[in-house]
A and B are shown apart, each in its own frame.
Chain A
Amino acid sequence: MVFNSYGFLLFFPSVLLLTRVCPLKWRNGLLLLASYLFYASWGKRWCVLLLGITILVYVLGLLLERKRRKYLFLLGLLGTLGALLAFKYLDFGLYSLNALLAKLGLGAPLPRVSLLQPAGISFFTFQAAGYLIDVYKGKYKPEKNFLRLALFVSFFPQILSGPIGRGDQLLPQYEKPQKADFSQLRRGFLILTWGFFLKLCIADRAAILVNTVYGSYESYSGIFLVFATLVYALQIYGDFAGYSYMAIGAAEMLGIHLPKNFDTPYFAQSIQEFWRRWHISLSTWFRDYVYFPLGGSRCAVWKKYRNVLIVFLVSGLWHGAMWNFVVWGAIHGLYQIFGGITKPLREKMLNALRVDRETASYRLFRMALTFLLVDFVWLFFRADGLGAAIAMLRVIFTNLTPTALVGEAFYTMGLDRQEFWALLLCTGGMTLIDALRYRGHGITEWFGRQNWLFRELALAAFMLIIITFGTWGNGFDASSFIYFKF
Chain B
Amino acid sequence: MHPASFISSFKRVISVLVLLVLVISGVLFLSRALAITDGPEKNGAFLRDDRQYDVLLFGSSHMVNGIYPMELWKNYGITAYDLGGHGASLAASYWEMRLAVEKHKPKVAVLDVLFAGSDYTEMEMGLAHELFDPYPLSRLKIQAVRDIFANEGDRMELLFPLDVYHNRWKELDTEMVERGLEGFRNLSTEKGAQTRVEVYPLEQAPLLDPSDCLEKTSVALGYVERFVTYCLENDITPVLTYLPCQISEEWQRACNAALRLGEQLGAEILNMQNMNLIDYAIDWYDDGSHLNPSGALRTTACMGSFLQNQLGLVDYRQDAAYSVWYDDYAAYVACQMERMKELSTAGQLLSLSALDLFTVEATISPDFSDQTVLHQLQSLGVTPAIRKDGPDLELIIRDTQGNELVHKCFETETTLTETVEA
Give chain A's interface residues, CB within 8 Å of chain B: 6, 182, 416, 418-419, 452-453, 455-457, 459-461, 463-464, 467-470, 472-475
Candidates B19, B34, B156, B170; contact of A474 at CB < 8 Å: B156
Min C-beta distance of A451 to chain B, whole Å: 10
In Å, the complex CA distance between A418 and B170 comes to: 6
Residue numbers in B under 8 Å from A6 (CB-CB): 156, 160
With known contacts A468-B169, A473-B167, A457–B22 Cβ distance under 8 A: yes
Rounded to whole angstroms, the CA-CA distance of A460 and B12 in the bound complex is 16
Contact B169 A469 (CB under 8 A): yes
Interface residues of B in 142-171 (CB under 8 A from A): 153-154, 156-157, 160, 162-164, 166-167, 169-170
Contact yes or no, A464 B26, CB < 8 A = yes
Q: How far is the CA of A457 from the CA of B18 in the complex (A)?
A: 8
User: Which residues on the A side are within 8 Å of B164 (C-beta)?
Assistant: 473-475
Residues of B at under 8 Å CB distance from A?
11-12, 14-15, 18-19, 22-23, 26-27, 30, 34, 153-154, 156-157, 160, 162-164, 166-167, 169-170
Which chain A residues lie closer than 8 Å to B157 at the CB level? 473-474
Complex CA distance for A8 and B195, rounded to whole angstroms: 45
Task: Name which residue of chain B comes closest to A464, CB basis.
Answer: B26
Contact at A470–B170, with CB atoms within 8 Å? no
Q: What is the CA–CA distance of A474 and B170 in the complex, to the nearest angstrom?
A: 17
User: In the assembled complex, how far is the CB of residue B27 from the closest CB belonging to chain A, in whole angstroms?
Assistant: 7
Contacts of A468 in B (CB 8 A): 30, 34, 166, 169
Q: Determine whether the beta carbon of B23 is less than 8 Å from that of A455.
A: no
| Further 13 A-B residue pairs, CB within 8 A, beyond A182-B12, A453-B18, A456-B22 | A418-B169, A419-B170, A452-B11, A456-B19, A457-B22, A460-B23, A463-B23, A467-B26, A468-B169, A472-B163, A473-B157, A473-B167, A474-B164
Q: Which of B18, B27, B153 contacts A464 (CB 8 A)?
A: B27
Instruction: Kindly state the separation between the CA atoms of A456 and B318 in the bound complex, as whole angstroms.
Output: 56
Asked if A460 and B170 make an inter-chain contact with CB atoms under 8 angstroms apart, the answer reads no
Query: Which A residue sits closest to B166, measured CB to CB?
Result: A468
User: Given A419, A452, A470, A474, which contacts B154 in the complex, CB threshold below 8 Å?
Assistant: A474
CA–CA, A112 to B12, complex, Å?
Answer: 59
Closest Cβ of chain A to B201, distance in Å, is: 41
**Is B30 within 8 A of A467, CB to CB?**
yes
Q: Which residues of A contact B160 (CB under 8 A)?
A: 6
Residue of A452, A455, A456, A457 most packed against chain B (CB within 10 A)? A456
User: Is A456 touching B166 in the complex (CB atoms < 8 A)?
Assistant: no
Taking the nearest CB of chain A, how far is it from the CB of B415, in angstroms? 38
Give Cα A250–Cα B26 distance, bound, in whole angstroms.
24
Q: Main SS of chain B's interface residues?
A: helix
CB neighbours of B166 from chain A (8 A)? 467-468, 470, 472-473
Could you say which residues of chain A place their CB within 8 Å of the CB of B30?
464, 467-468
Residue of A nearest to B33 (CB): A468
The complex places the Cα of A455 from the Cα of B19 at a distance, in Å, of 9
- A467 and B18 contact, CB distance less than 8 A: no
CB closest residue in chain B, given A478: B153
- Cβ of B18: which chain A residues have Cβ within 8 Å of it? 452-453, 456
B76 to chain A, nearest CB (A): 43
Q: Chain A's nearest CB lies how many Å from the CB of B145?
A: 12
CB closest residue in chain B, given A183: B12
Taking CB as reference atom, which chain A residue is nearest B13?
A182
Instruction: State A216–B156 Cα separation when bound (angstroms).
Output: 32
Interface centre among A457, A459, A469, A474 (most CB of B within 10 A): A474
**Residues on A with beta carbons closer than 8 Å to the beta carbon of B27:** 464, 467
Q: In the complex the two chains form, is B170's CB within 8 Å of A456's CB?
A: no
Q: Shortest 6 CB-CB distances between A and B: which pairs? A: A460-B22, A473-B163, A474-B157, A474-B153, A464-B26, A418-B170
Please report the C-alpha to C-alpha distance between residue A448 and residue B26 in the assembled complex, in whole angstroms: 23
Closest A residue by C-beta to B162:
A467
Residues of B within 8 A of A452 (CB): 11, 14-15, 18
- The distance in angstroms between the C-alpha atoms of A472 and B169, with both chains bound, is 13
What are 23 pairs between A and B in contact, CB < 8 Å?
A416-B170, A418-B169, A419-B170, A452-B14, A453-B18, A456-B22, A459-B19, A460-B19, A460-B26, A464-B26, A464-B27, A467-B27, A468-B34, A470-B166, A472-B166, A473-B163, A473-B166, A473-B167, A474-B153, A474-B154, A474-B156, A474-B163, A475-B164
A463–B34 CA distance with the chains assembled, in angstroms: 17
A56 to B154, CA, bound (A): 42
Q: Shortest distance in angstroms between B123's beta carbon and chain A's nearest beta carbon?
A: 15
CB neighbours of B15 from chain A (8 A):
452, 455-456
Collect the chain B residues with CB atoms within 8 Å of residue A182's CB: 12
Closest to A467 in B: B166
How far is the CB of B418 from the nearest CB of chain A, in Å?
Answer: 38
CB distance from B6 to the nearest CB of A (A): 14
Q: Which of B19, B26, B34, B153 contacts A475 (CB 8 A)?
A: B153
Chain A contacts for B163, CB-based, 8 A? 472-474
Residues of chain A within 8 A (CB-CB) of B167 are 473
B78 to chain A, nearest CB (A): 40
Closest A residue to B158 by beta carbon equals A474
B36 shortest CB reach to chain A, Å: 14
**Most chain A CB neighbours (cut-off 10 Å) among B30, B154, B163:** B163
> How distant is the Cα of A376 from the Cα of B14 in the complex, in angstroms?
50
Q: How far is the CA of A416 from the CA of B167 in the complex (A)?
A: 12
Q: In the complex, what residues of A have CB within 8 A of residue B153's CB? A: 474-475
Question: How far in angstroms is the closest Cβ of chain B from A453?
Answer: 7
- Distance in angstroms from B63 CB to nearest chain A CB is 28
